[in-house]
Chains A and B, each alone.
Chain A
Amino acid sequence: MKEETKKAPYRVPIGPNHPALKEPVMFTFEVEGEVVRDVDFAPGQTHRGIEWMGMRRNPVQIVHLTDRICGICGVVHSLSFSMAVEDVAGIEVPERADYIRTIVHELERIQSHLLWAGVAAHELGFDSLLHLTWRVREDAMDVIENLTGNRVNYGIVQVGGVRRDILPEQHPVIERCLDRYESLLGTLLSFFLDDATIRARCRDVGVLSRENAIGLCTVGPTARASGVNVDLRQDYPYAAYGDLDVRAVLPGQYLGKTHGDVYDRIVVRLLEIGQSCQIIRQCLSEMPAGPVTAEEKLPKLLATCKKAVGEGIGRVEAPRGECLHYVRMEGKDSPAAWKVKASSYSNLMSWIPMLRGAQVADIPIIVASIDPCLSCTDRVAIVRDGRREILTKDDLHRLSVEKTRRLQG
């Protein structure tokens, strides 16, 4: 051991972009042999200043901006933001809109968890499972497209309600999709949980203790996999969840014991797919009739928002955990302050205890296990031949136009 401590640990930078880590974040690992001794990370590699942009736009414009915060979570940001504005302006959402919001919200959870399951399989080198999960994910994407008109950036939520109703002829489309997932879930569970390789690579890897999960403000499946009983749909019900009696999925319920490792994070997410199917079924059968928005005319809605003074919070259980928007209105067109707190914002700190003492080869699956989501960009940092350059929004725009031209021949 003394021999080992005399050697200076190697510092290994990984990022800001790396093929195994998918998301743009800069890691610095201190490694001794194959073991990670310490780790530091720098997010913000693709910070867009979206809150700054929002403070110069009106709430209806911001809703469409929030749709574009994330390419996977197309509804949680617009829902949290709308709920925050409704909170300030005292807008009451019709009951039917609460149910439609819940249905789209849960469909999003299904496709997000399946996408994550595919990434996890890929990080472990199990690419046939990646292809299976991503193929079946298309069912949820198709239903979302059927309901909202879009695969991503759904544009379904508006301040005061939703922009489209769910028609009776769309019910069977949703139900067929749920049937397929419910019959598939057992297969997926056995592929992931009974596979000897997955078990060997994930069991007791990237452990986050319950104490650390609470101390570091961890949220969502990452917290639940460490045995923290948190789920806003259960604890702090919003939209239709107050009617539904949702309970947090904890690994201990399924396996009898909580390890707080990567394996438990797989268990939680897969079981939540089944839970989401049940929630959607319940919503479809109990959905009340009525209008889907408190105010159809946007100028009227904007006038109401403009009169609002005060602070409000919107808070939802995104696929990755709590997503929170804080809005402060001062009787002007634009909010005086807007803070977007995405779920990964709360989960990044948990990387440090998870990665300390891990093997270098486990870094990708541990990093991926919290399902990080660092949204896209107004600039990109490129490190090439030891030089560092920043590409601005206009550089990217130019490069994009050039590439389209090139592809056109």
Chain B
Amino acid sequence: MSERTLAPEELVEHLRSRLGAAIRSVSIRRRVQGKKKVPHATIWIDIGRESLKPAVEALREIQFPHLSVIAGADTGDAVRLCYIFSVQYGHPKGECMVTFAVDLPKTDLTVPTISDLVPGAVFSEREKQEFLGVRVVGIPDGRRLFLPEDFPEGIYPWRKDETGVPAGMVRELWRLRRPEGRPAPPAGRGPGENGDSRAEGSG
């Protein structure tokens, strides 16, 4: 870990030198808060899936990157995965977030695992498989993570097409009104009929 931290522009330069034309677009977004307006930066980079692993390796040359999470979105014809990393942690005000976004066409929803480079990634990769229906090639543990065992196959909760959650699976509590077959309310002790409201914990 070097003493000096790289500015976001220098980080982008480093990634360009490693990835070259594989970088499809780059944007650096800074946000300032508080009185001193100390900025923090996020670098958003669009790449193809074949460049995902080289991209993570390029980050590892700077510092072992922290993977926050892999976020995902159904964008219509594609599923977009955002690998949200950060590097230069441990340096006061020096951390920078780097997000690699990969668009996977729905005709081929496969992406290589990065868990050989970042072992903790397998947790988020399992979640993306079950919630978005992508296939993570080479994942060391492909089991479901959050969904129950009896959740139907082929339904992916975050998808917005025919593989999403169908209306029949959704039950809305507010429609249920009062449940039937419940015990009858105690006679004479309904609201306002009870002398000692304090003991009931009124409210």
Residues of A within 8 A of B (CB): 42-44, 47, 49, 51-52, 55, 87, 93, 95, 98-99, 214-219, 228-230, 232, 234-243, 245, 247-248, 286, 288, 311, 313, 315, 322, 324, 326, 328, 336-337, 339, 341, 345-346, 348-349, 379, 381, 390, 392-394, 397-398, 401-402, 405-406, 408-409
Contact = CB atoms under 8 A, between A and B. Distances in A.
Interface in B49-63: none
Interface residues of B, number: 63
A163 B124 CA distance: 34
A73 B120 CA distance: 24
B147 A239 contact: no
Contacts of B95: 232, 235-236
B182 A398 contact: yes
Nearest to B74: A337
Contacts, number: 175
A405 B173 contact: no
Interface in B87-136: 88-95, 97, 99, 101, 118-124
Given A44-B148, A217-B67, 20 more contacts: A43-B145, A51-B157, A216-B119, A219-B66, A235-B91, A236-B93, A236-B95, A237-B33, A237-B40, A237-B93, A311-B44, A313-B84, A313-B99, A315-B97, A337-B74, A339-B71, A346-B69, A390-B148, A397-B173, A408-B189
Nearest to A379: B148
A285 to B, nearest CB: 13
B24 interface: no
B40 A286 contact: no
Contact of B176 (A55, A95, A346, A394): A394
Instruction: Identify the interface centre among A218, A235, A322, A401: most chain B CB within 10 Å of its CB.
Output: A235
B114 to A, nearest CB: 11
Nearest to B178: A401
B171 A392 contact: yes
A215 B186 CA distance: 59
Contact of B64 (A43, A214, A313, A328): A214
A243 B36 contact: yes
B155 to A, nearest CB: 11
Chain B, interface SS category: loop
B123 A218 contact: no
Contacts of A228: 90
Instruction: Identify the interface centre among A44, A47, A52, A349: most chain B CB within 10 Å of its CB.
Output: A44
B68 A346 contact: yes
A37 to B, nearest CB: 18
Contacts of B150: 390
Given A44-B146, A98-B33, A242-B93, A326 B120 contact: no
Interface string B174-203: 001011001101100100000000001000
Nearest to B185: A405
B38 interface: yes
Interface of B: 29, 31-38, 40, 42, 44, 64, 66-69, 71-75, 82, 84, 86, 88-95, 97, 99, 101, 118-124, 144-148, 150, 157-158, 165, 171, 173, 176, 178-179, 182-183, 185-186, 189, 200
B145 A44 contact: yes
A67 to B, nearest CB: 18
B70 to A, nearest CB: 8
A336 B73 contact: yes
Contacts of A219: 66
A339 B82 CA distance: 10
A93 B33 contact: yes
A322 B68 contact: yes
A230 B90 contact: yes
B94 A235 contact: yes
Contacts of A315: 68, 97
A47 to B, nearest CB: 4
Contact of B73 (A235, A236, A337, A398): A337
A229 B89 contact: yes
A316 B23 CA distance: 29
B6 to A, nearest CB: 14
Contacts of B31: 87, 238
19 contacts: A51-B157, A98-B33, A215-B64, A216-B120, A228-B90, A235-B90, A240-B33, A243-B35, A311-B82, A311-B101, A324-B68, A326-B69, A328-B73, A337-B72, A341-B69, A341-B71, A392-B171, A394-B171, A398-B179
B33 A346 contact: no
A238 B146 contact: no
B93 A326 contact: no
Nearest to A44: B146
A349 B84 CA distance: 18
A286 B36 CA distance: 12
Contacts of B86: 236
A235 B158 CA distance: 32
Contact of B123 (A288, A349, A390): A349
Contact of A240 (B35, B67, B90, B120): B35
B148 A87 contact: no
Nearest to B120: A217
A324 B182 contact: no
A159 to B, nearest CB: 14
Contacts of B33: 93, 98, 237-240, 242
A228 B95 CA distance: 14
B147 to A, nearest CB: 6
A242 B93 CA distance: 8
A217 B34 contact: no
Nearest to A55: B158
